[in-house]
Structure 1
Amino acid sequence: MSTRHPMPFDAFVAPARAHPQLWRLGLGLVLIVAGNMAVSAAIFAAVLWLRGAESGPLTLGATPGLMVLVLLSFGGVVLGTWAAARLLHRRGLGTLIGPRRRVVRHFLAGVAVIAVIYGIAFLVGVGRMDLERNLAPGLWLAWLPLALAGLLLQTGAEELALRGYLQQQLAARFASPLMWMVLPSVAFGLLHHDAGMMGENAWLVVGVTGLFGLMAADLTARSGSLGLAWGLHFANNVFALTVVAPAGALSGLALFTTPFGADDTGAMRGLLLLDVAVLGVIWGLCRLGLSRRAR
């Protein structure tokens, strides 16, 4: 079966073709999961030790410190992906990302697109909500550098594992986009399923997140690097976790929170469906920019 793909994705996938065996990919995914579990468990154990005899529930990401630790736990994904690429495929971490200059250029472009679109959406819609102040501005600014560093790590880890390692290795083995574009996107969506936090919206969140994954996979294939997908992912999470977040878990770094939680079926469903429309606009603009640059 031919595994040739349109440029520049063909060059992006080339390093994966030396060792495309599925058993290597399977073991690599095990290493990624193991790395994530090990680092997450170590961080959780450290938090429990520092809390000592304090009573009360430990809500995921409910304070700035806990939220930063949640983001730092994704370092385990990076370590696992590095180990998989090095030990099983004999290649470095840089081959999962793409050419450095292109990555930086496309990353900044992705951030700019999200900033403009979400800025307009905030002024037109979200900004009119009865938002609640979550952190004092001074405290928010003090935590912001750590928040941005943590979000760079968290989004970079997910892009590295899914749009880098998994998408590349599947594309090295299969020609069909159903394998190398859809499967990583389905995995991305399923990893965000949390019925305890999202309630009845859990599967809608999976669908919207999977749609973002599909968009990111397509842009990765069109651009030949993780830069654009990473920039979009990073800027999206900056807005969703440090500017306006649903009340409750994962709101520890947000300047404002919505008057409803993530498990509020009606309110969140409306926002998620709006996200679908916004994602379509963002994807179209990015595709247009890439096609013009290719001329």
Structure 2
Amino acid sequence: MYIKQVIRNRENWWYYIFGIVLIVPAMTILFSIPHGVAIAVKAFGDEELTKKLAENDINVMMTILESNLNLFLMLFSFLGMLLGVFLTVKFIHKNSIRELTTSRSSIDWNRVFFSFLLCGSVSVIMIGIDYNFISTADYAWNFKPIPFLILFLICIVMIPIQTSAEEYLFRGYLMQGIGVITKVRWAPLLLTSILFGLMHYANPEIDKLGYGVYIFYIGSGLFAGIATLMDEGMELALGWHAANNFFTALLVTADWTALQTHSVLKDISNPQSLPLEEVLIPVLIFFPIYLYIFAKKYQWNNWSDKLFGKI
């Protein structure tokens, strides 16, 4: 129903190509200009810094500006992505934002908040256990009241925009579009998960930890995709993604991550690769547990048809 409801007179594949190739990238680039201008102004007159920027050194780009300012400007570009998706759906496909979000008569915010609280609580608990009992030596106390307060305000406003932009693009627009074009459910589930993983290719974590990180990113996409198809809406995916990035930004940072923030803790370890168990634990343990809880709470059924059936 979630995918099928958008099949109307504008389901031709080229409408989706037009939106994904032109409108969404154009809006994202437009809203990235302030970040680029700020970096250019900061680097002006510094030949060494300018040379590093010309080499597309992502670590330099992430540290050239003050942490909170950099985070705000980086997340601001996702507002363009979100607006690009909304404009495409509204004016090109003539569908509503509600239809992009859910098959229900209205967006179920209780689902969003339940997912946020469940996944956020698990994240906080696991970080607390790791800090206090497992890898204490890998962390340094990083809390500074004023910068943290500013970070908190930025995260409250901008993290939901960033995560919603990604979810509306992958679990919304592309999930529905690929489903409409292929007429089967497994294709959008698989393709959006792979594309979601590949989208993170520029993240510093890939360079630092290796390609094994893609297992987590693609696994995250599969989890969110399964939740969206089984629940006939993307509310649960919206809540999970917001919780994951929100609490990560507030609680832990590192010099080799995409979100370098004034968080409570700083990971001072110097990993050369990501241990396989750290990739597999969330993908094979936590994500299935979340899905089990969602399935019981929302009484999911017909798994094979909803995940692999025809549309």
Q: How far apart in 1 are the matches of 2:42 and 2:106?
A: 42
For 2:205 and 2:193, how far apart are their aligned partners in 1? 21
1:179 aligns with 2:179: no
Counterpart of 1:88? 92
Work out whether 1:251 is the aligned partner of 2:260.
yes
Query: Is the partner of 1:257 in helix, strand or coil?
Result: strand
Aligned match of 1:22: 13
- Pairwise CA distance, 1:214: 0.9
Distance 1:142 1:194, change over 3 A: closer
Alpha-carbon offset, residue 102 of structure 1:
4.2
What is residue 48 of structure 1 aligned with on the other side? 40
* Structure 1 segment 136-155 matched on structure 2, within 5 A: 136-155=144-163
Identity over aligned residues, as a percent? 19
Shift of 1:231: 0.3
Q: If the length of structure 2 is used for normalisation, what is the TM-score?
A: 0.80
CA–CA separation in structure 1 for the residues paired with 2:125 and 2:170: 30
Call closer, same or farther: CA 1:267–1:174 in 2, change over 3 Å.
Answer: closer
Please show how residues 157-236 of structure 1 align to structure 2 within 5 Å: 157-194=165-202, 197-199=205-207, 201-236=209-244
For structure 1, which runs of at least 5 residues remain unmatched after alignment?
A: 1-9
Q: 1:237 deviation in Å?
A: 0.7
One-letter amino acid of the counterpart of residue 275, structure 1 = P
- Superposition TM-score, scaled by structure 1 size: 0.84
Partners of 1:272 and 1:229 in 2: how far apart? 20
- 1:73 CA drift (Å): 1.1
Alignment: residue pair count: 283
CA shift for structure 1 position 121: 1.6
Shift of 1:246: 2.9
Summarize the Cα distance change of 1:67–1:96 in structure 2 as closer, same or farther, 3 Å threshold.
same
Instruction: Specify the code of the residue in structure 2 equivalent to 1:243.
Output: L
Per the alignment, residue 114 of structure 1 pairs with 119
How much has 1:274 moved relative to structure 2? Answer: 3.0
Q: For residue 257 of structure 1, report the CA deviation from its aligned partner.
A: 1.4
The partner residue of 2:25 within 33, 37, 40 is 33
- Following TM superposition, by how much is the alpha carbon of 1:149 offset from its aligned partner in structure 2, in angstroms? 1.0
Query: CA–CA distance in 1 between the matches of 2:249 and 2:127?
Result: 14
Query: Any stretches of 5+ residues in structure 2 without a counterpart?
Result: 53-59, 303-311
Q: CA deviation at 1:96?
A: 1.2
Identify the residue that residue 305 of structure 2 maps to in structure 1.
Answer: none
In 2, Cα distance between equivalents of 1:91 and 1:110: 26
Whole-Å Cα distance in 1 between the matches of residues 119 and 208 of structure 2?
A: 28
- Tell me how far apart the structure 2 counterparts of residues 146 and 196 of structure 1 sit (CA, whole Å): 21
Report the secondary structure of 2:61's partner residue: coil
Aligned residue number for residue 6 of structure 1: none
Superposed CA RMSD in Å reads 2.7
